Amino acid sequence: MLNINLGAIWRCRESWQQRLYTRYGSWAVVTGASSGIGAAMVRKLAEAGLNLVLIGRSQTVLEEMAADLTTHYGIEVRVIRLDLALETGVETIGAATRALDVGLLVAAAGFGTSGSFLDACLEEEMAMLNVNCRALLGLSWYFGRRFAQQGRGGLVLMSSIVGFQGMPFAAHYAATKAYVQALAEALDVELAPLGVDVLAAAPGPTQSGFATRAGMRMGMALKPGDIALPILNALGRRATALPGFLSKLLTYSLVLLPRWLRVRIMGEVMKGMTKHRLGKQDLDADRK
């Protein structure tokens, strides 16, 4: 009985690998590939046998990943060191991948900030807008057109559960994710008749470098390795994925509440995660 069960598990594993390769192979492009969810997605795509273009800001990390993936999975890997906050990012990626049979884009690059909106650094907020929205828009347009012309392809756009309503003390970050969510939902309808699958992946709090950069302290959090496969399995089957139990719990527990109340609740949650950064003026104003 044990052998039979293990065999069934192996056949199931083979099926998701074969589905990804058949539907989207033989090349995938992953932004934000060097850490967090992006790195976890890279590993799963390599298991499925897809060749990879890894995009990130650390040349050293990307090259180490490429060597490891090539050794363990026998795939071809190319790296592009790139800051997607730069306006030339989409053109650079397009030129580097033009000759490749790319069938999948995983747009996992992104970062966030937290704290009082009025105390934010405008330059950093503009950089976040460029990475989370402008670059993602450009890549979705570029690869969306390529995939439509070839009659197959997939776009995984990284949204978040914070994009379903405003979030005080992470106001701009939540707004960028609302943009991604709305864009993905619409493109899923537009591009489906052209053979292109589009997914908004909306995880909850996740253990990655995100919280450190955003200045947040998280309690419960998802592990990137636990949500990568659910995201890939959802592609082509639904418009939005809430990977992991925590993502579903946090989303569905608020869904029946009026939007204004959800905003207030999320603000209290974020205040607790960023209270070490909020100035006395912010806390005093909230008590009035």
Query: What pLDDT digit, counting tens, does each position of 145-177 carry?
Result: 999 999 999 999 999 999 999 999 999 999 999
What pLDDT was estimated at residue 9?
A: 44
Whether the CA torsion 170, 172, 176, 181 is positive or negative: it is positive
User: Residue 206: is its pLDDT beyond 80?
Assistant: no
Neighbouring CB atoms inside 10 A of 50's CB total: 24
**By mean pLDDT, which of 38-47, 59-68, 225-234, 250-259 is the weakest?**
250-259
Distance CA 103, CA 116 (A): 41
CB under 8 A, 24+ apart: contacts of 77-80: 77/51, 77/52, 77/53, 78/52, 78/53, 78/54, 79/53, 79/54, 79/55, 80/53, 80/54, 80/55
24 forms beta bridges with none
Q: What is the pTM of this model?
A: 0.84
Of 15, 12, 24, 41, residue with least CA distance to 203: 41
User: Residue 20: is its pLDDT beyond 60?
Assistant: yes
What number is the average pLDDT over the span 90-101? 96
pLDDT in tens, 105-126: 999 999 999 999 999 999 999 9
What pLDDT was estimated at residue 4?
A: 45
173 catalytic, yes or no? yes
Give the class (CATH, top level) of 12-287. alpha beta
User: Residue 93: is its pLDDT beyond 60?
Assistant: yes
CA dihedral of residues 111, 115, 119, 124 (deg, nearest 10): 0
Which position among 24, 44, 73, 177 bears the catalytic label? 177
Distance CA 183, CA 248 (A): 21
What pLDDT was estimated at residue 274?
A: 65
Contact 159, 204 (CB under 8 A): no
What pLDDT was estimated at residue 11?
A: 47
Distance CA 164, CA 177 (A): 8
Of 89, 75, 90, residue with least CA distance to 25: 75
Of 68, 28, 260, residue with least CA distance to 155: 28
User: Residue 231: is its pLDDT beyond 60?
Assistant: yes
pLDDT in tens, 132-148: 999 999 999 999 999 99
What number is the average pLDDT over the span 190-196? 98
- How far is CA 221 from each of CA 108, 150, 226, 245, rounded to the nearest angstrom? 18, 39, 11, 10
Of 80, 79, 198, residue with least CA distance to 141: 198
Contact 75, 69 (CB under 8 A): yes
Average pLDDT of every residue of the chain: 86
Whole-number CA gyration radius for the chain: 19
Q: Three-state SS for 47?
A: helix
Which position among 24, 44, 73, 173 bears the catalytic label? 173
pLDDT band of residue 276 (cuts 50, 70, 90) is: very low
What pLDDT was estimated at residue 245?
A: 73
pLDDT in tens, 261-273: 888 888 888 887 6
> What does the longest C-alpha to C-alpha distance in the chain come to?
65
DSSP states of 105-129 as a string? EEE-------S-GGGS-HHHHHHHH
177 catalytic, yes or no? yes
